[in-house]
Structure 1
Amino acid sequence: MTPHTDPESLYHTFHALKAERRLRNRDAAAALGISEGEAMASGVGRDAVRLTAPFDALFRRMPELGEVMALTRNEAAVHEKTGCFEQMSGDAKVGLALGSAIDLRIFYGRWAYGYAVTEQGPKGESRSLQFYDAHGDAVHKVFSRAGTDLAAWDRLVAEFAAADQSAGEKVAPRSAPAGDETPLDAIDAVAFRRDWLGMQDTHDFFPLLRRHKVSRRQAMQIAPEGHANRIGNDLTRSLLEVAAADGVSVMCFVGNPGMIQIHTGPVHRVEVMGPWLNVLDPGFNLHLRQDLVDQTWIVRKPTADGVVTSVELLDAAGETIALFFGERKPGKPEREDWRALVAQLGTADSLAA
């Protein structure tokens, strides 16, 4: 089907396809060859309200809404947390949402479009605030829940409604992936390993990659000995199942260029449905496409509090799908039960090999 159509025709085609094939918005948009943001924009004036920047000013008002569900995803993982926004900080470029349930690292510089959407579904009316990047790819969504203050929701939407409420959006075309990682033989691996071993905090890792012009995938390949070990992609299921059985409290990071969302705490109900590996807990859902995981690594980073261990999932392009850590606070050493669990994964993989 061609995406080159007027917003009204697109709106009807999009919703007819959704109903006929029982597709989610993202999948219906993909089937039409358009971005999800374009599909949402076709409903402006009907079931969507275009929101206006500055989006950081809007988003800092989230605590007014009470209980909501925050959703962040990438191509291979969906992370959902239900609770209240609490402490908000930041500026027009970056921000933080810190709280007992919703924990976000926000990169507003990547946000281009926003919509307040009202949809009718099998469970009744759904309200959401949806934010997209310049290409129309979803950055973050906030959904109403039973505990949402809908009067505050309506006030916020009215205050940030754009003057232009015409249907349709012209998004930027996606450029082809560059695929131009620095050749491994051009990287000073000795200096990179030295700086890796000199890290004092896990947050030093991103500057380390930028400074040496190394991708995350390359970092795994040239890491100091014993600091990055590749394991089988199927072991993420074991990680979650053992964590659930043994009560190991974890941190799960899922993100995209505009948002990183974090769950901290135990996991309980782990289920596999087709290609999806799921955590289905009250207040936290994780949906992970196992078939899109290309590499899984156990990674060890030195910090002032001792070594911190993570399990990191990468896709075929070397992009991060999800990161898992043991629950920890700055100034505290890594949990021994988490360290033992990860060591068990590595041993299991060695035995399988």
Structure 2
Amino acid sequence: MEMEQQSNDALRQRHQELVEAHPKLRIRDRAQRLGVSEAELVAAGCGVAVRQLGGTAQQLFRDLGMLGPVMALSRNDRAVHERHGQYQGIEAEGPVGIVLGPDIDLRMFFGSWRYFYAVTENGRDSVQFFDKAGEAVHKVYRTDATDAAAWQAYVDRHAVDTVAPVVVEPVAAVAEADAPADAAALRDHWRSLRDTHDFFAMLRQFSVSRLGALRAAGEDLAQRVDDAAVETVLGRAAGSALPIMCFVANRGIVQIHTGPVRKLVRTGPWFNVLDDNFNLHLNTDAVASSWVVNKPTVDGWVTSLELYGAGGELIVQFFGERKPGKPELGAWRALLQSLCPVALAV
């Protein structure tokens, strides 16, 4: 215990020195600079007041509906997705869960979730979920609209007496190739898809990365477009009030916004949507390739704009607003086709 305390003291000292030298750094970036995980900074109380939450991620998620309106945040290294609303339609019993409310729309993959905290930083309260590698998966922020008494009751109900040390454990990467062994077979399988959700199973079947599948499929199914496409698409969607869907994911969660976008702002490398109930912060300098992707479904073809980083990681996806049983919006498909020099399959 004494060694743990000394370790925490040393980390807090290093953290304070970094904050003094670089006061504008976000906690995720501070962790990287210090060579530790974000969860380790939180658990050590580096710039925050913290209470550890016990139980499973599923138990904690099932109670989020009691909080009333909050702000849900999910991110990866290149994109941050923030959505205001209530946790409704919560299903969190097994390894995969969903939140299917009109505002907050999530798909959770709980297998690697491990550390959970109630955090207060600069007067701002949040509940934060981390995976076993100590990386943030999802955060829930209290807002002026949140039921303050319910928030305190939630924390008190789930908090444990002590904050345990974080033992970082790497999350194993899935083995996948950069190209399919049989590109023609993958293309045939792709053209036989009946649901966009079957795409992931196809990647597993062919043991190929997502980007590897796009490169191999043929330009009528996936073609690379200019990296300025995201600003073009969001700008035209905002100008015409075209409702879209925006997906940002990390290895533990997918967070989805459905609806129009209105206020678009460029701040240095970050291209932002700054609407009342939805914010997106996208580092366009980190975009290595942009693709229009075309998938068949029982409801017709569905097209998306997908942005990838230099390591092949998916940064963000955009679709036209749609529900199962309804065809894709014609205006959305026309917008994405206008980006493409080659005609998409129909």
- State the TM-score, normalized to the length of structure 1: 0.90
1:137 to 124, 135, 138: 135
Please give the alpha-carbon distance, in whole angstroms, between the structure 1 residues aligned to 2:160 and 2:46: 11
CA gap of 1:87–1:181, structure 2 versus 1, over 3 A, is: closer
Contact (CA 8 Å) 1:45, 1:165: kept in 2 or not? Answer: no
Instruction: Tell me if structure 2 keeps the 8 A contact 1:271–1:280.
Output: yes
Offset at residue 109 of structure 1 (A): 1.2
Q: What corresponds to 2:167 in structure 1?
A: 170
Amino acid in the other structure paired with 1:154: Q
1:153 Cα offset (Å) = 1.4
Consecutive unaligned residues in structure 2, runs of 5 or more: none
What is the aligned partner in structure 2 of residue 340 from structure 1? Answer: 334
Are the counterparts in 1 of residues 61 and 92 from structure 2 also a CA contact under 8 Å? no
Q: Which runs of 4+ in 1 moved over 6 A?
A: none
Q: Deviations over 1:116-169 (max 9, x none)?
A: 00122xxxx100011111111110000000011122112211221134335x42
Q: Residue in 1 aligned with 2:84?
A: 82
SS of equivalent to 1:155: helix
Would you say 1:112 and 2:114 are equivalent positions?
A: yes
Structure 2 counterpart SS, 1:214: coil
Cα drift, residue 173 of structure 1: 4.8
Deviation at 1:44, TM superposition (A): 8.8
Q: Encode CA deviations 1:165-217: one digit per residue, 9 max, x unaligned.
A: 35x42212577x78x64363x61122211111110010010001101111101
Question: Aligned letter for 1:131?
Answer: F
Code of the aligned partner of 2:321: E
Residue 230 of structure 1: aligned partner: 224
Check the 8 A contact 2:178/2:209 in 1, yes or no. Answer: no
Q: 1:198 aligns with which of 192, 201, 206?
A: 192
Alpha-carbon distance in structure 1 between the residues aligned to 2:339 and 2:55: 46
**2:76 and 2:315 in contact (8 A); partners too:** yes
Q: Which moved more, 1:5-14 or 1:244-253?
A: 5-14
Closer, same or farther: CA 46–187 of 1 in aligned 2, 3 Å:
closer
SS of equivalent residue, structure 2 residue 333: helix
Measured in 1, the distance between the counterparts of 2:91 and 2:22 equals 42
Moved more, 202-211 or 313-322: 313-322
Once residues 314 and 6 of structure 2 are traced to their aligned partners in structure 1, the CA distance between those partners, rounded to angstroms, is 35
User: Residue deviations 1:230-284, cap 9 Å, x none?
Assistant: 0011211111111101111100000101010000000001111111111111010
Q: Does 1:289 align with 2:283?
A: yes
Aligned residue for 2:39, secondary structure, equals helix
**Identical columns (%):** 45
Cα distance in structure 2, aligned partners of 1:183 and 1:13: 40
1:279 corresponds, among 273, 276, 292, to: 273
**Are the equivalent residues in 2 in contact too, given 1:42–1:169 (CA < 8 A)?**
no
Q: Does the 8 Å CA contact 2:96/2:109 hold for their aligned counterparts?
A: yes
The aligned counterpart of 2:64 is 62
Report the secondary structure of 1:158's partner residue. helix
Q: Is the 8 A contact 2:119 2:128 kept in 1?
A: yes
Contact 2:48/2:120 (CA < 8 Å) preserved in 1? no
Query: Mapping of 1:23-102 within 5 angstroms?
Result: 23-43=25-45, 47-102=49-104
Aligned length: 338
Q: What do the CA deviations read for 1:287-321 (whole angstroms, capped 9, x no partner)?
A: 01111111110000000000000001111111111
Q: Which residue, 167, 176, 182 being the options, matches 2:177?
A: 182
- Aligned to 2:105, which of 103, 106, 109? 103
Answer yes or no: is the 8 Å Cα contact 1:253–1:261 preserved in 2.
yes
Alpha-carbon separation, structure 2, partners of 1:333 and 1:119? 45
Rounded to whole Å, the distance in 1 between the matches of 2:95 and 2:13 is 36
1:309 paired to 2:303: yes
Task: State the SS of the aligned residue for 1:112.
Answer: strand
Unmatched tracts of structure 1, length 5 or more: none
Q: Classify the secondary structure of the residue corresponding to 2:143.
A: strand
Cα distance in structure 2, aligned partners of 1:195 and 1:182 = 17
* Alpha-carbon contact 2:42-2:48 (below 8 Å) kept: no
Moved more, 187-196 or 73-82: 187-196
Q: Is the 8 A contact 1:130 1:140 kept in 2?
A: yes
Q: Structure 2: how far apart are the matches of 1:281 and 1:129?
A: 23
The answer on whether the counterparts of 2:31 and 2:38 sit within 8 Å (CA) in structure 1 is: yes
User: Partners in 1 of 2:178 and 2:306 — Cα distance?
Assistant: 22
Query: Contact conserved, 2:178 with 2:212, CA < 8 A, in 1?
Result: no
Deviations 1:19-72 (A, max 9, x none): 442221111222211111110010199710111231111111111001110000
CA contact (8 A) 1:92 1:109 kept: no
Q: Which amino acid aligns with 1:240?
A: L
Relative to 1, partners in 2 of residues 1:200 and 1:17: Cα closer, same or farther, differing over 3 Å? Answer: same
